[in-house]
Amino acid sequence: MQNAWADEVDLQLLHLLQIAPRISWANAAAVLQLSASAAAARWSRLHSAGLAWMAVYPSAVGASHLTAFVDIDCKPGQCKDIVAQLCGDPRVVSIEECAGGRDLLLTVMVPDLDRLTSLVLDDLATLPGIAHTRTSLVTALHFEGSSWRLDALDPGQQRQAAAAAEVHPRRPMTASITEHWPLIQALTCDARISVAELARVTDRNAATVRRHLGQLLGSGVLSVRCDTAPQISGWPIACSWRARVLPSQQTRMITRLRSIPQLRMCASVTGEANLVFTIYSRTLDGVSRIQLELGQRLPDLQPLETMVHLRLHKRMGWLIGPDGRCTGKVVAPNLFSSA
């Protein structure tokens, strides 16, 4: 794939970082057959231009917190002001303007149901300009952005990347997650920060930081991913469907949806529509073709609503400009903080 914003090697580098977000530049260079300095320079250029960035965020469904989708209808002329206020709220990790069914779609992460209730019924309900909200809780996440790939590496390079990725044995957390909040904050700002630098900014021993980092990533409490602007991905159109699936058919439906290469997200949720999924398309015409294909491949899937994503304002804490590029500013989700 070629485009005006990145050459093939840039895309290979980004695909590599999707597989192994914290891979060393030396190992990345070996996969791409570059020098380590050349690999680092390419990332620096793409990152500085806001075309690619690293996101560190709480795993979407966990015992220590919950995730919800909140639809917002805005009063005429109020959408811009509402977005500006919500962009600074650490509970709201993603904000998108949509066509179809609502003005704004929020992804919310909070520690518990009480905090979600407070956000929706107290804060959002009294925010000037909001006319109506609708909330769906995520009960299971089947596919998300960290699993989506650019598909620029060949199979051999993908195996090399996976082999060179940091491996943290799966184990439960042995300490309170709030004790790791300074470490999480530093990672949120720079997912590729070195252990030595993490030790410096958190004023901790490097060996301790290495052990705690392994616990955070190995426990599944945190997710790390490489995100890209639409100019890089080549898939500028995102469309989401809310659908109804019989419980007896859900496993089969999810398996078939996961086989679609353009799938970006798929989650089980509460409400009449018990399944939500997002698929990328190169063109708006492609959305119609996808919908036709879904009807043919998944006749038992009952779509209730279609949403075309118009503008992304915030993604997993990172603020996004009107051109789809990352601004370099992040509002870290703070559900793990003791504050």
Given this model, what pLDDT does residue 3 score?
Answer: 65
Q: What is the mean pLDDT of residues 148-170?
A: 88
Given this model, what pLDDT does residue 310 score?
Answer: 94
Q: What is the mean pLDDT of residues 282-307?
A: 90
Which tokens in the block code for residue 11?
A: 């895309």
Given this model, what pLDDT does residue 100 score?
Answer: 80
Reported confidence tier of residue 339, pLDDT bands at 50, 70, 90: very low
Q: What is the mean pLDDT of residues 170-180?
A: 69
Residues 6+ apart with CB under 8 A from 172: 219
pLDDT tens digits along 220-258: 788 899 999 988 888 899 999 999 999 899 999 999 999
Q: Which helix (H) or strand (E) holds 184?
A: helix 181-189
Quote the strand ranges of the chain, DSSP E. 52-58, 66-74, 92-99, 104-110, 130-143, 222-228, 237-244, 263-269, 275-281, 302-315, 318-320, 326-330
pLDDT tens digits along 80-115: 999 999 999 999 999 999 998 789 999 999 988 999
Q: What is the mean pLDDT of residues 42-55?
A: 96
pTM, 2 dp: 0.91
